[in-house]
A = this chain, B = another copy of it.
Amino acid sequence: MRRGEALIHSVLEEYGRLTRRALRRYLPAGEPWRYLYDLVSDYPRRGGKMMRPSLCIATARAFGAQAEDALRAAVSIELFHNALLVHDDIQDESQVRRGAPSLHVLHGMPLALNAGDTLVMLSLRPLAEYRLGFGLKVALLLIEEMERMARESGEGQALELGWRRDNVVDLTEADYFEMVLKKTCWYTAISPMRLGALIGSGDMYPEFETLIRFGFFFGTAFQIRDDVLNIVGDERYGKELGDDLLEGKRTLMLIHLFSQATAGECERLAAFLAAPRAERLGAPVRWVIERMKHYGSIDYAQEVANGLAGAALHEFSTLFDRLPDSRDKSFLSDMVPWVLERNS
């Protein structure tokens, strides 16, 4: 294990544990349990890498706050993330999440949808509590950041779902980057770090806007690696392998394949994407993956991710060079190569 990797595992473990413990206080234990709060606490109980809350806590600490100060924001991000997962699984008809049946598979779509709605609203409560100790202004800024994050996520999700519904096949890389910026980067990197920076610096942080650039480069590299792992990853990943192709997700690999394949192959690919999910299983999915390998689409995506990671590291030094060196600062910069190399 490389030094950076050891640090990352130890920070994710530590901040993940702190967040999970704090999170329990915000998951209601009362009624209606069987139809609501049992469902609400299901995905959070299943674990996960806890990357987003850890980015938030580390950023807050790099700016001089205590981990304790950032915990409520970390909880808020994790609750919102879990809400998205519940609704995503319904929209994608995903059967498995983190190695167990999806919430709508366990409880039916209507109750799962409602549990997702409740998780979204629960994510606001920890932020409102910042009025104590941090003041009304910071509390309101945190809530507005959350609202912005949710809006960007909704816009990105709309693009992805719309492209799939209409079987759009003439997408460019620029379309993909816009979609990922909104769908992934805001709630995965930009807002977790902006919330952390806000808590660490009050509202005095001068380059608040520039975190968007870092978060875009970092978050997109993360998403591309996620997409690559979905094609070449192993079972430990906890989702169905090749699932993205069954769902018809527009990945950079798919866009690259369309740009390289013959007219006949493109036609076959478009028909594959238009077919019902059940008809894509098995041989058709394997054919697409084989063509991606043939045209180097997977290697190409990984190369683009490498380039984005380089840009992220450049932005990182602009943003963080003036702050004193610390374990949290190292964690944040080590995260950049790590997202490219991770296998799960």
Decide if A111 touches B165 in the complex (CB within 8 Å): yes
Decide if A87 touches B124 in the complex (CB within 8 Å): no
Decide if A114 touches B32 in the complex (CB within 8 Å): no
- A157 interface residue (CB < 8 Å to B): yes
Decide if A91 touches B110 in the complex (CB within 8 Å): yes
Query: What is the CA–CA distance of A85 and B136 in the complex, to the nearest angstrom?
Result: 32
Residues of B within 8 A of A144 (CB): 128
Decide if A111 touches B151 in the complex (CB within 8 Å): no
Which parts of A73-129 form the interface with B (CB within 8 Å)?
Answer: 87, 90-92, 107-111, 113-115, 117-118, 120-122, 124-125, 128
Decide if A87 touches B111 in the complex (CB within 8 Å): no
Query: What is the CA–CA distance of A158 and B136 in the complex, to the nearest angstrom?
Result: 33
Residue in B closest to A131 when the chains form the complex, CB atoms:
B140
- A319 interface residue (CB < 8 Å to B): no
Query: What is the CA–CA distance of A25 and B139 in the complex, to the nearest angstrom?
Result: 25
Decide if B108 touches A158 in the complex (CB within 8 Å): no
- A64 interface residue (CB < 8 Å to B): no
* This protein's copies in its complex: 2
Residue in B closest to A118 when the chains form the complex, CB atoms:
B154
A: number of interface residues (CB 8 Å): 44
Residues of B within 8 A of A114 (CB): 87, 91, 154, 157-158, 161
Decide if A36 touches B154 in the complex (CB within 8 Å): yes
- A245 interface residue (CB < 8 Å to B): no
The proximity string for A residues 141-162 relative to B, scoring 1 for CB distances below 8 Å and 0 otherwise, is 0011001001100110111011
Query: What is the CA–CA distance of A140 and B121 in the complex, to the nearest angstrom?
Result: 14
Residues of B within 8 A of A158 (CB): 32, 35-36, 111, 114-115, 118
**Least Cβ distance of A31 to chain B in Å?**
8
The proximity string for A residues 311-335 relative to B, scoring 1 for CB distances below 8 Å and 0 otherwise, is 0000000000000000000000000
Decide if B147 touches A125 in the complex (CB within 8 Å): yes
The proximity string for A residues 13-46 relative to B, scoring 1 for CB distances below 8 Å and 0 otherwise, is 0000000000000000001101110000000000
Which parts of A149-187 form the interface with B (CB within 8 Å)?
Answer: 150-151, 154-155, 157-159, 161-162, 164-165
Interface core residue of A92, A109, A114, A150 (most chain B CB under 10 Å): A114
Q: What are 27 of the A-B contact pairs (CB < 8 Å)?
A: A32-B155, A35-B162, A36-B158, A87-B117, A90-B110, A91-B109, A91-B114, A110-B164, A111-B158, A111-B161, A111-B165, A114-B154, A114-B158, A114-B161, A115-B158, A117-B150, A121-B150, A122-B151, A124-B143, A124-B147, A125-B147, A128-B144, A128-B147, A136-B136, A136-B137, A136-B139, A136-B140
Chain A residues within 8 Å of B, Cβ to Cβ: 31-32, 34-36, 87, 90-92, 107-111, 113-115, 117-118, 120-122, 124-125, 128, 131, 136-137, 139-140, 143-144, 147, 150-151, 154-155, 157-159, 161-162, 164-165
A32-B158, A36-B158, A136-B136 given; 19 more Cβ-contact pairs under 8 Å: A31-B155, A35-B161, A36-B155, A110-B161, A110-B165, A111-B162, A115-B158, A117-B150, A117-B154, A120-B121, A121-B151, A121-B154, A125-B147, A128-B140, A128-B144, A128-B147, A131-B140, A136-B140, A143-B143
